[in-house]
């Protein structure tokens, strides 16, 4: 896991090696084990290394192939590199690294190598003969890839801040993108908050040569045909098998590896597989709290005891956590309504000498673990009655608040509409009152067709696209890498995703949280874990913003309102309504704006 950066230009005088060095220096946390550059007349590639596989200097990057034609800079891990190695016998390997296997794979198969690769990655490969740059990003977007292209230059980076600082763009915040950030607390690829800077979309690759860039998808979560399914027992057997394969494949490492262990179903299942299906004695880490309402330490201890893990409890006091929040926000590469939670765990794990950790992220979205799944399934099955009751619903809606009010005012019920309401922080009419921009952003989910998927899987897909990819994975990457920790996510293995999304609803109906997954892995886990109530990992943000974080929040909002982005008086009115405990102004709206202002203070525009 590393940082990558590069600059390609047809104009020789535009290649500035010092600028790439500066970009890398701002991402040292992503790769503290070494920094290296390679450059030619029309390109400069850079790399900061977090050494995980083949720790020798021979495996450092940018790496040149044995023919001296291709050069790669790569961030991530290729989990099946040993299997691919056996298909590449004609290549004369100099290292035992997954980087060289990836490079050899591209040399042999070109962009078709992406269909063979299982991993989390963002990389660039330069062809010195064709004068062509190949770029690619993993299927689910676990690793970031930001870029800028103006016809003369193509510049890329693992983080957006170094790009902004380097370019000093005149085009500052894109107001259409700002609308999307305010509604969904993120900006989905290929866009960013900065209009001139883009993201390579998950599951995409591209070629840059001359002055042109062309980008294509090689994997799309919406394009897979459902498989044929038989009995419940057979489905459970396959789910268990694919989950085990996903976890075991992600245990490759030449450095210490551990696991986040909350004591919930997802993290407990990962630890169970680590203990039962590998030679690794798991090192586990859980966060414990003084507040009983979200302390799950007793469940984590149960799993640790059963599987004889080397367990570490990280005691977090509210006062200690709150005191760190300003510094955590300053470490965020992109603003978010979340993130500090992940940083606290990552920092503690790294301090224990761990470089790689497995996370249970994605289990709820894939196996219908959230309450929204059950609500969506119920309403979909009664949508005919729902759609015919608009008049009655609008009579009732004034007596309800927030998202329930919005839901009752829908013209018709669709899975897409329900998911968007469920995942919105601000709603479009609320955003209209905040910013001077009436044009709506381009909703990338408008034209997707997933009607061939079961209803629960449709909700899963929208959640994965609207929430998991652009928020949870982004925050997991930026907060863990701020601590020089690599986080791996077995639940988002593409083989597991493709199988589970095709499973008919009758086998997955969420009578209880993640019932199918629980039944599939039940023999691995003790009953007290299987039958425990679901708990969310959250903090008392509402209380903190009103008390400990009052000054930080108020000062940030005052400064934010001074910017030309917002209607004068709109931000302070929101703050006043929050303090008066207006039901329509939850803490999440305030914190989203606070995060935005602190991020804006740290970036450099012209």
Instruction: Please provide the DSSP assignment of 224-277 as one string.
Output: PPPPP---HHHHHHHHHHHHHHHHHHTT--SS-EEEE--SSHHHHHHHHHHHHS
Q: For residues 314 and 308, is the Cβ–Cβ distance under 8 A? A: no
Residues of the chain with pLDDT under 70: 1, 12-14, 171, 225-226, 290-295, 438-446, 533-538, 604-606
**What's the pLDDT score for residue 47?**
98
Distance in angstroms (rounded) separating the CA atoms of residues 273 and 280: 10
Query: Do 22 and 475 touch, CB atoms closer than 8 A?
Result: no
Q: Where are the alpha helices (DSSP H) in 352-388?
A: 363-366, 371-381, 383-387
* DSSP assigned state of 325: H
Compute CA distances 160 → 82, 193, 591, 596, 602, whole Å: 32, 10, 21, 14, 12
Say what the pLDDT of residue 351 is.
92
The rounded distance, in Å, linking the Cα atoms of 76 and 102 is 11
Beta-carbon contacts of residue 457 (< 8 Å; ≥ 6 apart): 450, 500, 501, 502, 503, 505, 508
Span 247-260, pLDDT tens digits: 999 999 999 999 99
And the tokens for 338?
């979340």
Within 10 angstroms of residue 27's Cβ, the number of other Cβ atoms is 23
List helix spans (H) across 424-569. 428-432, 455-463, 474-481, 494-501, 505-508, 515-521, 527-530, 541-546, 550-562
* Residue of 254, 219, 296 whose CA lies nearest to 497: 219
3-class secondary structure, 143: coil
In the three-class reduction of DSSP (H, G, I as helix; E, B as strand; rest coil), residue 602 is classed as coil
> Which residue reads 């597989």 in tokens?
273
The reported pLDDT for the residue numbered 606 is: 52
Q: Which pLDDT does position 531 carry in this prediction?
A: 76
**What pLDDT, on the 0 to 100 scale, is given for residue 537?**
54
Strand order in the sheet with 153-157: 35-40, 43-49, 2-9, 153-157, 146-149, 197-199
Q: Which sequence positions are flagged as catalytic? A: 2
- pLDDT at position 33 is 95
For residues 125 and 137, what is the distance between their CA atoms, to the nearest angstrom? 12
Q: How far apart are CA 168 and CA 393, in angstroms?
A: 51
* pLDDT given at position 595: 96
**Which uninterrupted H or E stretch holds 577?**
helix 570-579
Spatial contact of 53 and 252, defined as CB atoms under 8 Å apart: yes
Phi then psi for 27, rounded to 5 degrees?
Answer: -125, 25
């Amino acid at each position: 896991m590393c940082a990558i950066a590069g600059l390609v230009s047809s104009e020789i005088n535009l290649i500035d090696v010092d600028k790439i060095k500066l970009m890398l220096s701002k991402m040292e946390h992503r790769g503290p084990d070494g920094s290296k550059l390679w450059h030619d007349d029309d390109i400069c590639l850079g790399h900061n290394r977090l050494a995980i596989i083949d720790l020798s200097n021979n495996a450092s990057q940018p790496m040149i192939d044995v023919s001296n034609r291709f050069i790669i800079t790569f961030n991530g891990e290729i989990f099946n590199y040993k299997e691919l190695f056996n298909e590449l016998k004609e290549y004369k390997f100099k290292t035992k690294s997954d980087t060289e296997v990836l490079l050899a794979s591209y040399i042999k198969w070109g962009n078709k190598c992406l269909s063979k690769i299982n991993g989390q990655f963002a990389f660039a490969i330069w062809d010195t003969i064709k004068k062509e740059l190949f770029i690619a990003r993993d299927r689910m977007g676990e690793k970031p890839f930001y870029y800028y292209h103006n016809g003369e230059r193509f510049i890329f980076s693992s983080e957006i801040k170094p790009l902004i600082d380097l370019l000093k763009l005149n085009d500052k915040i894109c107001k259409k993108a700002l609308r999307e950030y305010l509604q969904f607390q993120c900006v989905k690829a290929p866009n960013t908050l900065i209009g001139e800077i883009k993201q390579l979309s998950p599951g995409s690759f591209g070629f840059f040569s001359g002055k042109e860039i062309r980008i294509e998808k090689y994997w799309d979560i919406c394009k897979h045909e459902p498989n044929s399914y038989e009995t419940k027992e057979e489905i459970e057997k396959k789910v268990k098998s694919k989950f085990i394969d996903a976890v075991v494949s992600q245990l490759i490492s030449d450095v210490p590896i551990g696991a986040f262990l909350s004591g919930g179903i997802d993290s407990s299942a990962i630890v169970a597989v680590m203990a039962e299906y590998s030679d690794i004695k798991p090192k586990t880490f859980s966060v414990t709290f003084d507040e009983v309402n979200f302390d799950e330490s007793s469940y984590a201890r149960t799993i640790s005891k059963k599987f004889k893990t080397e367990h570490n409890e990280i005691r977090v006091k509210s006062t200690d956590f709150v005191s760190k929040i300003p510094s955590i926000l300053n470490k965020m590469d992109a603003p978010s309504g979340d993130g500090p939670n992940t940083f606290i765990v990552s920092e503690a794990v790294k301090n224990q000498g761990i470089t790689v950790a497995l996370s249970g992220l994605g289990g709820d979205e894939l196996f219908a673990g959230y309450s929204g799944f059950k609500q969506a399934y119920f309403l979909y099955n009664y949508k005919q009655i729902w759609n015919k009751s608009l008049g009655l619903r609008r009579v009732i809606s004034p007596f309800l608040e927030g998202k329930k009010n919005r839901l009752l005012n829908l013209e018709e019920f669709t899975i897409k509409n329900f998911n968007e309401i469920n995942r919105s922080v601000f709603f479009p009419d609320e955003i209209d009152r905040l910013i001077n921009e009436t044009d709506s952003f381009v909703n990338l989910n408008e034209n997707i067709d997933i009607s061939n998927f079961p209803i629960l899987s449709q909700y899963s897909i929208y959640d994965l696209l609207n929430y998991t990819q652009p928020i949870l994975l982004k925050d997991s990457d930026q907060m863990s890498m701020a601590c020089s920790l690599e986080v791996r996510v077995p639940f988002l293995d593409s083989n597991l995703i493709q199988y589970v999304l095709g499973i008919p609803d009758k086998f997955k109906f969420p009578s209880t949280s993640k019932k199918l997954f629980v039944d599939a892995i039940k023999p691995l886990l003790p009953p007290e874990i299987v039958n425990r109530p679901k708990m969310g990992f959250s903090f008392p943000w509402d209380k903190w913003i009103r008390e400990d974080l009052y000054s930080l929040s108020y000062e940030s909002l005052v400064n934010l309102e001074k910017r030309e982005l917002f209607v004068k008086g709109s931000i302070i009115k929101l703050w006043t309504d929050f303090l008066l405990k207006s039901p329509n102004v939850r803490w999440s709206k305030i914190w989203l704006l606070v995060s935005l202002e602190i991020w804006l203070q740290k970036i450099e525009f012209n």
